[in-house]
Amino acid sequence: MPSYQALSELLDPDTTVLLTVECQEGVVGTDSALPELAAQARSGGALANIGRLVDAAHAGGVQVVHAVAERRPDGRGANRNARLFRAAERLPVQQLTGTPAVRVAAPIEVAEEDLVVRRLHGLSPLHGTDADPLLRNLGCRTLIVTGVSANVAVPNAVFDAVNSGYSVVVPADAIAGVPADYTPAMIRHTLALVATVATTSDVLACLERPRGIRPA
């Protein structure tokens, strides 16, 4: 884990953005299309930790961006070139535009100043979406990546962010995947190679410091 000073230097509130990935009702909510993933995100504490991080970001003036995956009722523009996409079409809960399934789930609060980036295609919250130009216009240099799943969308976000020149911080207890033991293995053997891995408490300690205070 990084030292407080090293993490604080990365998490300058003026150049840091907190990203939540697919933390929507139809994915991590009580009526999820993926109940095993939703249960893990809730029982393992990841969703609660994301809520804490979002609250701290709002209080500390750190920009929050919510990445939401959805599809049109007619499926136009959606991918069908992988088994995952075809399986999603058969799920009992669909992530349809304008439905409760694509609302950001509790306990995460969406503030007026938050940005919501919605995508109709692909696996990545960044590649091929509005996220990257928005982050650049916000002056982002460090992206905190949280959410689901550790199997697909989260590593996509991390790699795309690194490839785009951002530094990435991953609070290990604020992401979730299935099975439960897959997430720590993926973090240790994959994400830790390209991102700074911390805990929610570590990141909160940096986000909650008085604005304008820099580490000695």
Q: pLDDT tens for residues 99-134?
A: 999 999 999 999 999 999 999 999 999 999 999 999
Q: Which of 80, 78, 88 is nearest to 27 (CA)?
A: 88
Model pTM above 0.85:
yes
Those residues whose C-beta lies under 8 Å from the C-beta of residue 164, and which sit 6 or more positions away, are 126, 132
SS3 of 26-54: HHHCCCCCCHHHHHHHHHCCHHHHHHHHH
pLDDT tens digit at each of 216 positions of the chain: 889 899 999 999 999 999 999 999 999 999 999 999 999 999 999 999 999 999 999 999 999 999 999 999 999 999 999 999 999 999 999 999 999 999 999 999 999 999 999 999 999 999 999 999 999 999 999 999 999 999 999 999 999 999 999 999 999 999 999 999 999 999 999 999 999 999 999 999 999 876 555 555
Those residues whose C-beta lies under 8 Å from the C-beta of residue 80, and which sit 6 or more positions away, are 86, 89
Those residues whose C-beta lies under 8 Å from the C-beta of residue 119, and which sit 6 or more positions away, are 67, 68, 69, 70, 125, 128, 129
What is the helix (H) or strand (E) element at residue 149, kind and residue range? none
Q: For residue 173, what pLDDT is reported?
A: 98
Assess contact for 60 and 54: CB atoms under 8 A.
no
Give residue 41's Cα distance to chain centre.
12
Assess contact for 104 and 27: CB atoms under 8 A.
no
Q: For residue 1, what pLDDT is reported?
A: 81
Give residue 58's Cα distance to chain centre.
16
Q: What is the longest distance spanned by two Cα atoms in the chain?
A: 56
What is the helix (H) or strand (E) element at residue 12, kind and residue range? none
